[in-house]
């Protein structure tokens, strides 16, 4: 609120207005100033005659089109090929016509539905935006968004070269483009992936590279199958990995549990794409690579908790590839239903695994 509201008694005496009435007046004045600032921002945006180019690979680039910076951003985490931003933007926002340097998936997180105007190649399309609806916007597409209510949303940008690389591995074809889905729609799988990535932003470094890469790979294949100019048939992986390949993968994972494990490194060691590796691994092991790595890290933590009473749980967490003690506790409880400290006490008291 305005600084003059800090001493209501003083200003009440000056104007001859009671405290409560003055407080109401100041509140209305403050809201008017906020509205005027938003209107000035809109006017500045609309006075730009050229279409704005937004490069989401750069941190803070979204402030070219929104009055507030992103509440959360993946730029500091250095995710490869993709970037994710979580926004809380006020009402009365008009982005103006713009072109993004990356393909985009925008997902609404607001609790209430509200009307909005969407321009696609400068043709207006009124829409009612509901919670958890998504819009898919290919790169080099001119678009504009306008709304009048506070909005919470995610923007996922991904490199066209990454989508082409995945498509080349699957179809031996470079010519691929997401099909535009400007009018918001619901898609539970994309919703789940974006919320999973948002969880990665919120927990910062506690999310492993293999988790993010697996979500990326799943999203790429799904977009290519359902929202692109190429049609991809399901690929049969009935036999899974060979015995030698499986032995090689498990040996690699066991040797690197203490550090970051990248899905791409494992796939390249077998001379295959991430997509095929994930499918073959799941067929062979009945679980995803990410879940298998977590289970093996918890298994190693159990062994260290049994073997040493001097080593702290925080040190054990780091030795097993977890980012922190709380990260270990989360998955230890999730898989075993007990905390590491309680497990250690139980093992010492009984002389055996609880």
* Domain 292-350, classified CATH 1.10.10.60, yes or no: yes
Cβ atoms of residues 326 and 206 within 8 Å = yes
Q: Each residue of 11-35: pLDDT tens digit?
A: 455 455 555 554 555 555 555 555 5
DSSP 3-state of 46: helix
pLDDT tens, 182-224?
567 888 899 999 999 998 888 765 567 788 888 888 888 888 8
Average predicted confidence (pLDDT) for the chain: 79
Burial of 328 (0-12, 13-18, 19+ CB in 10 A): buried
pLDDT at 181: 62
Residues of the chain with pLDDT > 70: what percent? 76
pLDDT digits (tens, 9 = 90+) for 54-90: 888 888 898 889 999 999 999 888 888 899 999 999 8
266-299 pLDDT tens trace = 988 888 888 788 888 888 888 888 889 999 999 9
Q: 113-140 burial string, b = 16+ CB within 10 Å, else e?
A: ebebebbbeeeeeebebeebbbbbbbbe
Q: Rounded to whole angstroms, how far apart are CA atoms 159 and 128?
A: 29
The closest alpha carbon to 301, from 347, 269, 244, belongs to 347
Report the share of the chain in percent with pLDDT over 90.
23
CATH superfamily of 52-226: Jelly Rolls (2.60.120.10)
Going by pLDDT thresholds of 50, 70 and 90, the confidence category of residue 350 is low
Q: Is residue 46's pLDDT more than 50?
A: no
C-alpha–C-alpha distance, residues 289 and 261, integer Å: 10
| Residue 250 predicted with pLDDT over 70 | yes
More confident residue, 354 or 127: 127
- Same CATH topology for 52-226 and 292-350: the answer is no
Domain residue limits, the chain: 3-46, 52-226, 243-286, 292-350
């Amino acid at each position: 609120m305005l600084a003059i509201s800090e001493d209501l008694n003083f200003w009440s005496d000056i104007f001859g207005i009671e405290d409560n009435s003055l407080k109401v007046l100041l509140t209305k004045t403050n809201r008017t100033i906020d509205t005027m600032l938003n209107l000035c921002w809109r006017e500045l945006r609309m006075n730009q005659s050229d279409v704005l180019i937004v490069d989401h690979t750069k941190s803070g680039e979204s402030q070219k089109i929104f009055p507030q910076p992103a509440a959360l951003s993946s730029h500091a985490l250095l995710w490869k090929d993709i970037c994710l931003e979580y926004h809380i933007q006020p009402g009365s926002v008009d982005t103006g016509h713009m072109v993004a340097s990356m393909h985009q998936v925008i997902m609404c997180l607001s609790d209430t539905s509200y009307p909005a105007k969407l321009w696609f190649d400068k043709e207006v399309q009124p829409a009612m935006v509901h919670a958890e609806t998504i819009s898919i916007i290919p790169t080099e597409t001119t678009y504009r968004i306008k709304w009048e209510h506070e909005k919470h949303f995610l923007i996922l940008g991904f490199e066209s070269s990454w989508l082409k690389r995945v498509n080349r591995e699957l179809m031996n074809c470079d010519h691929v483009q997401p099909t535009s889905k400007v009018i918001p729609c619901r898609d539970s799988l994309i919703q789940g992936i974006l919320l999973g990535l948002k969880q990665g932003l919120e927990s910062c470094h506690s999310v492993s590279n293999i988790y993010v890469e697996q979500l990326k790979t799943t999203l790429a294949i799904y977009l290519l199958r359902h929202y692109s100019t190429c049609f991809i048939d399901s690929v049969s992986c009935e036999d899974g990995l060979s015995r030698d390949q499986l032995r090689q993968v498990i040996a690699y994972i066991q040797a690197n549990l203490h550090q970051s494990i990248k899905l791409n490194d494992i796939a390249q060691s077998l001379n295959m794409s991430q997509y095929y590796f994930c499918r073959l691994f799941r067929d062979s092991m009945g679980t995803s690579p990410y879940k298998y790595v977590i289970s093996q890290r918890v298994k190693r933590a159990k062994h260290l908790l049994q073997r040493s009473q001097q080593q702290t749980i925080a040190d054990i967490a780091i030795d097993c590839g977890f980012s922190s003690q709380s990260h270990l506790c989360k998955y230890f409880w999730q898989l075993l239903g007990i905390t590491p400290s309680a497990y250690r006490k139980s093992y010492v008291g009984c002389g055996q695994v609880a």
